[in-house]
Structure 1
Amino acid sequence: MTPQYDVLVEGSSLAFHGGFFGISSIVLVTSGKTRALFDCGHGVTRKLLLNALEARGLAPGDIDLVILSHGHFDHVLNLDLFPGAPVVMSLTEREYVETPFDEDWVTPRILPMLLEGRELRLTDGEEEILPGVTAFPTPGHAPGHISLELSSPEGPVVLAADALKTAREASTCIPDLEFDPEKRGAASLREVLRRGRIIVPGHFPTIRTDESGRLSWTGVQEMPLLFR
């Protein structure tokens, strides 16, 4: 079975003095009759996500599964939109979010409460979580980070989330913002690049690679500013 993917919210790395917008990619993955979201964003992307679903004739209740790449605020805080959907995340990340490192300022301490009472499906290592959709560990940005590999006629598609956030990371293999003391981010970057012909980063438009490893992309990061 060949799954389908659709980028509902395109990630962006735009920031301002003292912080960043946290616009992370949100991807709809369809495998058979199952509609899954890979990450769900936070307040800044909430309306973008709802509008994107509506434009496709969908509502939050049509989402059957939420897959979390990791537990950072810009990837998880819209979980309340999908109260009936089971949640897939790694066992390592589920354990980690209970007691994040003191210097970890991006994992919301309320996340265990948001997960309480939900049906959880915890991955441990590489695992096919839906037909044609394989979750694999990509630790570094977060200790239990996972990415997804999808089969496609154009070659393997990797939904990288923050294992590969930007074109800069892809071109240098130097990770930004590692919250894993084992510093496994560079190895995860290389694994994403090894696997993917099409890569959807966490905070950048879609990147393509050729047989020689050359990177290309056509999207640009845009942020219309409205003053109120």
Structure 2
Amino acid sequence: MSAAVRTEPLRGEPPLLVRGDPYSVVVLLQGYAEPEGVDDAVRADGSVTLVLPQAWGSATSLQESPPHSGGAKTALEEAARGPILVDTGGPWAREALLGALAGQGVAPGDVTLVVGTHGHSDHIGNLGLFPGAALLVSHDFCLPGGRYLPHGLGEERPLQLGPGLEVWATPGHGGQRDVSVVVAGTALGTVVVAGDVFERSGDEDSWQALSEDPVAQERSRKRVLDTADVVVPGHGAPFRVVREAPQPRN
């Protein structure tokens, strides 16, 4: 028996809210990549996504967090109690990002964790807006002020930030250290914020040319498609993953 997988657009314009318990997902800015001019020039920017804990904004969550102590596991769990930003877009998108956050009632100082899926400028160009947040950029995790903590992330060892909230190692596009954020328990099922593991829906004929390790990225893409109900790609609209009924083999 084998099951086919297809994708279809998730309708709606940013900000696109997918409610969940205990985390909701808001696609703040939709990434794009458009040919421009000659010499294969491209104008591009990466998607920006907000993960909001359901409890954020309550009296208890607004209390000052205790100083980070212990190892990376504890620090990540503490950082995930507040708003989490996945990628920040390029520096040219600064005002759009600030406006999109404000539209959700989130100030830069409210963000407690920023995850950069990989180190390209169109995905981490606004880290300087969040000096008070913990940063997980690719596989580098540091607390405010630059205290770096080892964490052991690997393809077989995701980082658990909270109930149904994980960071996966999804190598390929930018090399061996790309990551994705996986949010289970939303109204649409499991949402994977995949960075450039997927450029966009229907990128099957183009992603390999942009990949530093196509073999690893093919593995990452399959893993995401096996798990996700919705994928937020790096440079296009979010899309659903639809699994067809298994068909008998002759």
Provide the TM-score with structure 1 as the length reference: 0.75
For structure 2, which runs of at least 5 residues remain unmatched after alignment?
Answer: 1-20, 57-81, 246-250
> Structure 1, residues 72-126: CA drift from partner, whole Å, max 9, x if none?
11111210000111102343xx49xxxxxxxxxxxxxxxxxxx994244555121
| Larger displacement relative to structure 2 (159-168 or 115-124) | 115-124
What is the match of residue 87 of structure 2? 39
Amino acid at match of 1:29: V
What is the match of residue 201 of structure 2? 167
What is the match of residue 15 of structure 2? none
What is the match of residue 24 of structure 1? 46
Q: How many residues get paired?
A: 191
For the pair 1:58 / 2:106, whether they are aligned, the reply is: yes
For the pair 1:118 / 2:151, whether they are aligned, the reply is: no
Q: Indicate the structure (1 or 2) with the bigger Cα radius of gyration.
A: 2
State the distance in 1 between where 2:29 and 2:106 align: 15
SS of equivalent to 1:166:
coil
What is the match of residue 98 of structure 1? none
Provide the alpha-carbon RMSD of the alignment. Answer: 2.6
SS of equivalent to 2:243:
coil
Question: CA 1:36–1:7 in structure 2 vs 1: closer, same or farther (change >3 Å)?
Answer: same
| Larger displacement relative to structure 2 (201-210 or 118-127) | 118-127
What is the match of residue 183 of structure 2? 150
State the distance in 1 between where 2:86 and 2:147 align: 16
> Structure 1, residues 171-222: CA drift from partner, whole Å, max 9, x if none?
5595341123x73111111111111111111101010122219xxxxxxxxx
Relative contact order (alpha carbons < 8 A, sep ≥ 6): 1 or 2 greater? 2
What is the match of residue 23 of structure 2? 3
Provide the TM-score with structure 2 as the length reference: 0.68
Amino acid at match of 1:149: V
The sequence identity of aligned pairs, in percent, is 31
What is the match of residue 73 of structure 1? 121
State the distance in 2 between where 1:80 and 1:52 align: 17
| TM-superposed deviation, 1:24 | 0.5
Amino acid at match of 1:198: V
> Structure 1, residues 117-143: CA drift from partner, whole Å, max 9, x if none?
424455512121233211111100022
Contact 1:173–1:190, Cα closer than 8 Å, also in 2: no
